[in-house]
Amino acid sequence: MRKVALLLGGMLIGCALLGVAQETMDLDTALGFFQNDQIMIEYSEAGRAQLEEIIDALKAGLGVPEDLDEDSEDAVGAFEVDMALKNVVVSLSQAYYTLANVFMTEPENYPFYRAGKHWAFNALRMSPDFNDNEGGRFDESVAQETDVPAMYWLNANWLRSSKENKIQAVFAGVPAKSEMLSQRILELDPNYIAGGIYRSLGGYYEQLPSMMGRDMGQALFYLCHVVDEPSYCSECGAGEMVPGAYEYFENRTFFVEFYLMPEKHWEDAARILESVLDEEVGDVYPLMNAYSQAHAQTLLDEVNEHL
């Protein structure tokens, strides 16, 4: 109920704001919503409408034609973008991931994850050094890449879109390529988005098919970089927690969803989810913390069935 009230309140405020400004958003305004690696909108229907408007403005700023098939990697890859607009392409990939992850459910979100993946690939392949096609190698390209956001959003969208057909993804080598991207991000900036790559790796090792090396010890190791739980983490060798990780609520919901619940630690799962629900969303991560609270309530309802 706490999150329902917040969501309805946000909808009323957001709808009032949308009623004031009906002009088409320009590129500079759209980019202004991206601050400190976050999209600064609220978790509401008005926030979703605003995000869709941001996506349209980013595409207009890139000159993307309306008939471009964003579900096709070849079509998106063939669309040429000036290197000066590379950050816009990466922002578009992040925006698609956020729309699919926060405001949609399966299976309607898969095409948007795929579009996000394709735009992230477009951004990386703008550099001639990222040559994974026509005889080039993905591993060599990733090993020399330095654009952390582009790699991060490629990996995030790729993993989510792969859930639509996990077997196909395995045969396409997605797990191995995701591991390459993840390890490169760890080398360059493991703290990006409050330890986002640790969250990703934790979920990755829990969700891997058994035949591909599902490993709960590895899941715990990576997730312990972003949670403060000594009873679980003191012996796993994770070391110090990422600075500020506690304030990013998704770190705790990931720990519950991808470790405590699979391992049936129901009481600790409930405790941590309650800690997420009891905190103020704050103004640093307004969208993701509000979304994480809503997800925490959903997880808590499931956990309570086991208590």
**For the chain, percent of residues with pLDDT exceeding 90:** 83
Q: Three-class SS of residue 265?
A: coil
> What are 269's two structure tokens?
């799962």
Greater confidence, 128 or 65? 65
pLDDT band at 135 (very low <50, low <70, confident <90, very high): low
Across 56-69, average pLDDT:
98
| Predicted pLDDT of residue 10 | 47
**H helices then E strands: how many in the chain?**
16, 2
Q: How confident is the model at residue 22 (pLDDT cuts 50, 70, 90)?
A: low
pLDDT at 171: 87
The confidence score (pLDDT) of residue 72 equals 97
pLDDT in tens, 205-252: 999 888 778 899 999 999 999 999 999 999 999 999 999 999 999 999
For residue 20, what are its two tokens? 């004031």
Distance, CA of 26 to CA of 59 (rounded, Å)? 10
Q: Could you give the dihedral angle defined by the CA atoms of residues 167, 98, 78 and 184, in that order, rounded to the nearest 10 degrees? A: -70
Residues 6+ apart with CB under 8 A from 205: 213, 214, 215, 216, 218, 219, 222
Percent share of the chain, pLDDT over 70: 92
